[in-house]
Structure 1
Amino acid sequence: MPVAAPRRAGRRRRLGLLLIGAVLLFALLGPWLIGIDPARQVLADSLQPPGLQHLLGTDVLGRSVLARLAHAAQLSLGLALLAAITAAVPGVLLGVAASWHGGAVERALVMLADAVMSVPGLLLVVLFAALAPGQHWALYLGLSLSLWVEYFRVSRAVARPVLAGDAVQASRLLGFGGAYLLRRHLLPALAPVLATLLAFSTAQSVLSLAALGVVGVGLQPPTPELGLMMIEFLPHYEEAPWLIAAPVLLLMGLVLGMMLLAGEREVQP
């Protein structure tokens, strides 16, 4: 029985990698392989069912759903990954700096993090989106500013016992500098936790972008985006239910893959 949990975790990880890999391939190669302009309208083909010409059918304006879905996956996943990685860099550096220096530096950084956390993350993104409606950079900046706090808190919590440990104290007595301590002691302790957090924050960013698109304060039409596609397809769910199923299933597959991949880290012995 002791080996059952690692085996189940390995299967979950493989399934997560498979789902994420499929979405990545679709996002990277889909627009090139499909070769159809996602904004091209053919009103005569309005609400065509899935077929050989259009594998996922067409929307009410006669646009290819498959082409729009591929560009939407590329946009949502790319923007979410960029925001998560951008948030991770300052968050980790500030978290390590807070644990390293302690005292007034740590108190100031903790107060800054608490101030950012007092504003709900999605509300912060909405505020930036309101300043520049429909602009990619506004959503990216809002997501990054709402995500860095989690990286700060996690890296600070992980770095504190490591820096106070015997191994780090011995390295300092032997004269090793900060770069060596960071590379030899801190990064190995931070890497597994940050990998899990990166998966969670990327999934959170994808969901946030979709939610903003649904309520109409994110990216604006005719930009292909998962949330926008859902709200565009919703009025036609009775006559063309396959339309809304496409972005919903893609979003579910992407988020499920991220969760399975992140969950693998948590069950490792």
Structure 2
Amino acid sequence: MFFSFKSFHVSMHWQTSRFQIDLSRPRVMGIVNATPDSFSDGGRHATTADAMRHCESLLAQGADILDIGGESTRPGSPAVSLDEELSRVLPLVRSAVGLGVPLSIDTYKPEVMRAVLDLGADIINDIWALRQPGAIAVVAGHPACGVCLMHMHRDPQTMQAAPMEGDVVSQVLSFLEQCALDLHALGVEKSRIVLDCGIGFGKTVEQNFALLACQPLLSRAGYPWLAGWSRKSSLGAVTQWPVSERMVPSVAAALLAVERGARIVRVHDVRETVAALQVWQASQIPPPSL
């Protein structure tokens, strides 16, 4: 079952610190890894100058949102100290807030959240869904920042050693809805919240594709959804292609996610994803009467 043209245009937006992002069309979030050990492009943008050039390149390719991360969360990756993450992220955020686009920060540490929001960042993108001590208070205490709550089974060091069991779709949906309700209880408006089912975070290949197949069901929860399939290992399992060659399957997965209801796609390959979505959008016209 595919997401219909009519239902995709249900009015929806994402309220963030500086921007109200219109989600009546799909939005592309470009990935900026300020890390030496990301699974995809670690070390390529490790200096602030290199990372800023990458930000500007992604915007020129059509990115709507930039997502900056200072800690790799690939399976088995070691945790980064607070001081190290701050040293990677803060100089870049200071520069990137001047680009005039929504700025998302991929972090689970409340100290980093507070620091980047003080600098003017717009969105907190948290793989732990604000479950780390103090994290939910930072977001709830901010007057307008957006937040993306992601589902993760276990933690990055152990999540693939013992993936989820049972009905993954209902478990993911139930967990994220409860996280959103916890935010509502603290006064955070629904319009500030986006959900992410966490492709590859403690799930088998089959479970990841089940979540993609059931994206229309997830979307009925009434929140915008973000899909993060870019270069993931599940795409490699299907194609047998290495990380460096997964652009085409990544674009295909992003397009399928949008077709089935995702409002935002988080990607490395912005230019190609934007082009695919432009073709998809051009086809979204009501069918002729027969």
Which has the larger share of strand?
2
TM-score when normalising by structure 2: 0.26
Q: TM-score, normalised by structure 1?
A: 0.27
Where relative contact order (Cα < 8 A, 6+ residues apart) is larger, the structure is 1
Between structures 1 and 2, the one with greater helix share? 1
Larger radius of gyration: 1
